[in-house]
Structure 1
Amino acid sequence: MSTAAAPAEGRLPSVVAAGWSRGVVETVMFFRERDAVVFTFAFPIILLGIFGSIFSGTLEGGPLTVSQLYTAGLIGAGVMSASFQNLGIGIAVDRDDGTLKRLAGTPLPRSAYFLGKIVNVLAVAVLEVAILLAVGVVAFDLTLPSAPGPWFTFAWVFLLGITGSALLGIAVSSLPRSARSATAVISMPFVVLQFISGVFIPVTQLPEWLINVSSLFPLKWMCQGFRSVFLGDAGAALELTGSYELDRVALVLAAWVAGGLVLCLTTFRWKSRRDG
């Protein structure tokens, strides 16, 4: 009995257990950075408050308000911010300060590092969505769905969107040359995407060529999916085709999951450029 128990006691933790432990560490480290926490959660709330207060009327005389439209769009932006932006910058910093290099020399499986990042991303994204929904309900009369169907739509849009955005964030983390440039290199395209993807400006008011550009990226389709959940049938008339096109939303987001995985496998680097 003693000889059989010995290997079990000395066995390394599973990848899932190691990834969960790493995720707890990542999340604790994130919440210890108070400036990052305040910016991550307060920034979309401030934007919602500003835009919701400035544009406080109804949409085309209908039952929906501009504030409700912004709430749905900022939820999509919040999900992408927690995944694409935070992951891209965080991994670039880990690479530049030698964290990735040190982890490669430990028994921690490389996949556990990414699982840990996913745990952190999910925690931040869920909390950010909850805060934005609370603000939308309390301050801007956003009505939450009462039927299970819209919440099912919310679940798959959230999961496909956050997965595709996270994989894209991992892939672009190799672009910055250093930790100092990571924020600028990764945040700039994300800010541009918000303006052309229906977060701040309704897609019906954009020129066709910008709509075509935004349609190539997941943020437009996440926002469209979330609008279907929180604006319902009344909001469908505000879409370009008069429909939320949920089948197309699912197809594009699933394509980004597959394409993001390919990009990660082909572009990700464990070492910084100065390490060769």
Structure 2
Amino acid sequence: MARLARLTLAQARYVNKAFWRNPSRAFFTFAFPLMFLVIFTALVGNFSVSLGSKVVTSATYYVASMGAYAVINACWNSLAIAVAFQREEGLLKRVRGTPMPSSVFLLSRVLHSVAVGVGLVAVTAVFGRAFYAATLPTGLTLARFVVALIVAAAAFCALGLATVAFLPNTDSAIVTTNAIVLPLLFLSGVFIPVTAKSPQWIQWVGRVFPVRHCVNAMQSAFLGTPFNWDDVGVVALWGVAALVVALRFFTWEPRRA
């Protein structure tokens, strides 16, 4: 077990180096949450919002939302696309022919995605604090936020690997993954709040899929509003289900003709 952990950490460091040696990819990965934060704050203005007994600024609200977006994008969208490309390039097949355990390769990719997601949340929070005076969580609120963040990161990594299992080729990887993730981001209150006045079918989508529950958990923990552990539980259940699907259907062989 200790040997596998050392191998995984070593491989994760290699994945991390490869990530930072692609400046454009690294730049846009970290720029998108900040860009959306600036855009939405500029569109709606930085005013006070009453959330029950809690009053926060709209910038603080969007810092929490963009934190959720960052985790979902890094751990689901980006991971699925990256692994799909590596599979179709034959890299996954070659890895299975080396002494390195296959699990080490995938775990290192997951570990890197989690690290990027956590880093994105930290950068977004610092940016929001520096430029919009956003209020950051502390104490018990911070602890809840960290738990929600880690559970979400793990669950969406599992969803990323499950998604790869059904991507037929590299040409469809980006389109298919974005076609799944982007609508859920909009329908789950990441960019535009979903309220009781929203259409019933939008509220239904939010209740069924994990994105809304991730947003609820991270927002309530970040903002200090009443926290519902059921949201964390739903995200975790989706992660377990996705892991089962990935273990059953994930393939290492290229699917190209």
| TM-score, shorter chain, exceeding 0.5 | yes
- The answer to whether structure 1 residue 100 and structure 2 residue 89 are counterparts is no
1:166 corresponds to which of 157, 170, 173? 157
Letter in 2 for 1:28: K
Letter in 2 for 1:134: V
Q: What CA deviation, in whole Å up to 9, does each residue of 1:12-57 have, x standing for no partner? A: x822121111111111111112221121110110110011111113
Report the equivalent of 1:59.
Answer: 49
Report the equivalent of 1:20.
Answer: 9
Question: SS at 1:59's partner residue?
Answer: strand
Letter in 2 for 1:208: Q
Question: SS at 1:142's partner residue?
Answer: coil
Asked if structure 2 preserves the Cα contact closer than 8 Å seen for 1:64 and 1:231, the reply is yes
1:197 corresponds to which of 188, 194, 198? 188
Report the equivalent of 1:7.
Answer: none
Structure 1 residues 38 and 206 mapped into 2: Cα distance closer, same or farther (>3 Å)? farther
Report the equivalent of 1:151.
Answer: 142
Structure 1 residues 123 and 251 mapped into 2: Cα distance closer, same or farther (>3 Å)? closer
Report the equivalent of 2:198.
Answer: 206
- The answer to whether structure 1 residue 120 and structure 2 residue 102 are counterparts is no
Report the equivalent of 1:47.
Answer: 36
Report the equivalent of 1:266.
Answer: 248
Report the equivalent of 1:249.
Answer: 231
2:170 corresponds to which of 179, 182, 195? 179
Q: What CA distance in whole angstroms lies between the structure 2 residues aligned with 1:63 and 1:160?
A: 27
Task: Tell me how large the CA RMSD over aligned residues is.
Answer: 1.8
Q: What CA distance in whole angstroms lies between the structure 2 residues aligned with 1:188 and 1:64?
A: 33
Asked if structure 1 preserves the Cα contact closer than 8 Å seen for 2:65 and 2:190, the reply is yes
Asked if structure 2 preserves the Cα contact closer than 8 Å seen for 1:193 and 1:219, the reply is yes
Report the equivalent of 1:38.
Answer: 27
Deviation at 1:256, TM superposition (A): 1.4
Q: What CA distance in whole angstroms lies between the structure 2 residues aligned with 1:34 and 1:177?
A: 28
Report the equivalent of 1:236.
Answer: none
Q: What CA distance in whole angstroms lies between the structure 1 residues aligned with 2:222 and 2:150?
A: 17
Question: SS at 2:27's partner residue?
Answer: helix
Letter in 1 for 2:115: A
Report the equivalent of 1:111.
Answer: 103
Q: What CA deviation, in whole Å up to 9, does each residue of 1:74-94 have, x standing for no partner? A: 101101111001110011001
**5+ long unaligned stretches in structure 2:** none
Q: How many residues get paired?
A: 252
Asked if structure 2 preserves the Cα contact closer than 8 Å seen for 1:77 and 1:219, the reply is no
- The answer to whether structure 1 residue 216 and structure 2 residue 193 are counterparts is no
Asked if structure 2 preserves the Cα contact closer than 8 Å seen for 1:164 and 1:218, the reply is no
Letter in 2 for 1:24: R
Asked if structure 2 preserves the Cα contact closer than 8 Å seen for 1:214 and 1:220, the reply is yes
Asked if structure 2 preserves the Cα contact closer than 8 Å seen for 1:24 and 1:119, the reply is no
Deviation at 1:60, TM superposition (A): 5.5
**5+ long unaligned stretches in structure 1:** 1-12, 234-242
Higher deviation after alignment, 93-102 or 48-57? 48-57
Name the larger-Rg structure.
Answer: 1
Structure 1 residues 83 and 99 mapped into 2: Cα distance closer, same or farther (>3 Å)? same
Q: What CA distance in whole angstroms lies between the structure 2 residues aligned with 1:206 and 1:14?
A: 52
